[in-house]
Structure 1
Amino acid sequence: MNSKKIIGIIALIRPPNLLIVFLTISAAAVLAGATIDDWILVSLASLAGAVIGGGGNAINDFFDAEIDAINRPNRPLPRGDVTKQEAWWVWRLASSAGVLLSAYVGPLPFAIALFWIVSLYFYSRVLKRKVLIGNLAVGVVTALAFVYGALSVGGFEHSLIPAFFAFLVNLARELVKDVQDIEGDRRGGARTLPVVYGVKPALGLATLVIVLLIMSTVVPYANGTYNVHYLVLVGVADLALTYVAVSLWRSRLPHRLERLSLVLKFTMVLGLAAIYIGS
């Protein structure tokens, strides 16, 4: 295997996204009461989630090869660095490894891991091409990372608030990405919200979700769940979210929307830090 192939496979699984998954699961476990004695279990759970996520990215690119040739020609498959068969095997191997690791963590994390694998497969093959269903699926799958991390060491009650926030921010981000990808999705026959109903309804829904998210972030401080340190950091995240909500209506150029999508990803990391520090 040459270096170009190795680099292509690494790009296929999207390492920055996997790092976020790993940190999310680890943080959820700590919020649920994990101690230093649980570090092996937490590490295995976090690694399992990240590996499954990498497999999900591979199978997504497998089914999106033709659309990505239009929307993202620099991805490994359209560029020719990785073949579809190789992407298929990356998914199979990563999913198998992830589910085996999850089996060691516990029965409930194992069940969530199986749900992830099945959901990511059908999302990539069918659901992402359906109006709103694919967007909601990504939100649920992402939110479950918090529940999964908490269940790896015990109860999941402390994971519900961050899971709700993760659902909303990823729902908004997926809607923005749908607008960004409208040309390739239209040519590929995908029936996403902007393809079927237009760009303005999609941006309107994304804005509504962001506003709901901003309003929701104040509640855990108001009811005493998180302290003032949370409020300070989440306030910065809310400013970034406000910037995205306003900017969505200023320009719909793909590179501009891609930047806003990255800002939304950043707010998730910042929100995670806020919850960790403020809890």
Structure 2
Amino acid sequence: MTRPLNGAIVFLTITVAALLAGASKGGWHFVLLGSLAGALIAAGGNAINDYFDVEIDKINKPHRPLARGAIKPQGAWWTWRLLSSLGVIISAYIGPYTFAIALFWVGTLYWYSKSLKRTVLWGNLTVALATGLALLYGGYTVGNVQSVFIPALFAFLVNLARELVKDSEDVAGDVQGNAMTMAVRHGVSASLGTATAVLALLIAATMVPYVEGVYNSSYLLLVSFTDLLLVYAIISMWRKRSPQNLARVSGALKLSMVLGIAAIALGSYPWR
């Protein structure tokens, strides 16, 4: 329900963003607290998502705790309230900008789970924006966001594509639940086509920082592997559109975000 792997990725993303922004030895308690706060809010967001999606998940994700009846809906509701509140309180302690982002996260993740995810593109854009903001949040834990705009943009794009793929994966349950996603309203081909266009833009964009001298050759080496993974995802999603394969493609895109963050971290070393 809380998706520990997703929380770990959020924790890592915020920590690396803080490194890129120039985290100092004396300020690491803010970085770690911020990373924890982001992971808690993400976990709470997953819980409220399952709360609103329990009927759809009985079709699309029957293994999830609420869908199979292992946890009652009220348990998910209180999990969301507790984890989100803790994340916001910690963010308020760090500073006003992290507090503002945390409030935005909690509000938009609730809105997304309740209604936005059932709309064409708006839900996808919301999740992508929330993910990109994780890097800005990491920058604000150390008071500097200039170094994290590029990775924030990359995170936005890869997660926008991933959300479109997930909509295609979940189309059967979304039809039953009257969720008007792009895949439902315009067809799986339209959803995957949009995801392909976003990934093509991302692949092209990953070369720009190296050409402009922003990142070093270590970045180029690792981001090339990341781009190959993105190409694989594009080819695979068109070869086989089964929910099982699209779930694998979604996993590959999640991995590509981790690799992309690692590429930027290595490409920026020594950190400021």
Which bracket does the TM-score occupy, shorter chain normalised? over 0.9
What residue in structure 1 maps to residue 210 of structure 2? 221
What residue in structure 2 maps to residue 4 of structure 1? none
User: In the alignment, which of 12, 35, 38 is matched to residue 23 of structure 1?
Assistant: 12
What residue in structure 1 maps to residue 140 of structure 2? 151
Write the distance in 2 (CA, Å) between the matches of 1:61 and 1:86: 11
Q: Displacement of 1:248 after TM fit? A: 1.2
What residue in structure 1 maps to residue 129 of structure 2? 140
Query: Match of 2:67, SS?
Result: helix
User: In the alignment, which of 92, 102, 115 is matched to residue 103 of structure 1?
Assistant: 92
Q: Displacement of 1:123 after TM fit? A: 0.3
Q: Displacement of 1:262 after TM fit? A: 0.2
What residue in structure 2 maps to residue 63 of structure 1? 52
Q: What is the CA deviation profile of residues 254-277 of structure 1, one whole-angstrom value per residue up to 9, with x for unaligned ones?
A: 110000100000000000000001
What residue in structure 2 maps to residue 166 of structure 1? 155
Q: Displacement of 1:217 after TM fit? A: 0.1
What residue in structure 2 maps to residue 3 of structure 1? none
Q: Displacement of 1:154 after TM fit? A: 1.1
Write the distance in 2 (CA, Å) between the matches of 1:277 and 1:90: 36
Any residues of structure 2 matched to 1:1-279 within 5 Å, and which? 12-279=1-268
Q: Displacement of 1:224 after TM fit? A: 0.5
Q: Displacement of 1:58 after TM fit? A: 0.2
Q: Displacement of 1:155 after TM fit? A: 1.5
Q: Displacement of 1:146 after TM fit? A: 0.2
- Stretches of structure 2 that go unaligned for 5 or more consecutive residues are none
Letter in 2 for 1:21: V
Write the distance in 1 (CA, Å) between the matches of 2:163 and 2:22: 31
Q: How many residue pairs get matched?
A: 268
Write the distance in 2 (CA, Å) between the matches of 1:167 and 1:62: 25
Write the distance in 2 (CA, Å) between the matches of 1:36 and 1:27: 14
Letter in 2 for 1:52: I
Q: What is the CA deviation profile of residues 109-139 of structure 1, one whole-angstrom value per residue up to 9, with x for unaligned ones?
A: 0000000000000000010000000000010
Write the distance in 1 (CA, Å) between the matches of 2:4 and 2:24: 27
Give the TM-score normalised by structure 1: 0.95
Write the distance in 2 (CA, Å) between the matches of 1:249 and 1:14: 27
Give the 4+ runs in structure 1 shifted more than 4 A. Answer: none
Q: Displacement of 1:37 after TM fit? A: 1.3
Q: What is the CA deviation profile of residues 214-237 of structure 1, one whole-angstrom value per residue up to 9, with x for unaligned ones?
A: 000000000000000000000000
After superposing the two structures, state which structure 1 stretch, 129-138 or 33-42, moved more: 33-42
Q: Displacement of 1:38 after TM fit? A: 1.3
Write the distance in 2 (CA, Å) between the matches of 1:30 and 1:221: 19
Q: Percent identity over the alignment?
A: 58
Query: Match of 1:159, SS?
Result: helix
Root-mean-square deviation over aligned CA pairs:
0.5
Give the TM-score normalised by structure 2: 0.98
Q: What is the CA deviation profile of residues 57-80 of structure 1, one whole-angstrom value per residue up to 9, with x for unaligned ones?
A: 000000000000000000000111
Write the distance in 1 (CA, Å) between the matches of 2:199 and 2:237: 11
Write the distance in 1 (CA, Å) between the matches of 2:197 and 2:67: 34
Letter in 2 for 1:205: T
Q: Displacement of 1:182 after TM fit? A: 0.2
- Stretches of structure 1 that go unaligned for 5 or more consecutive residues are 1-11
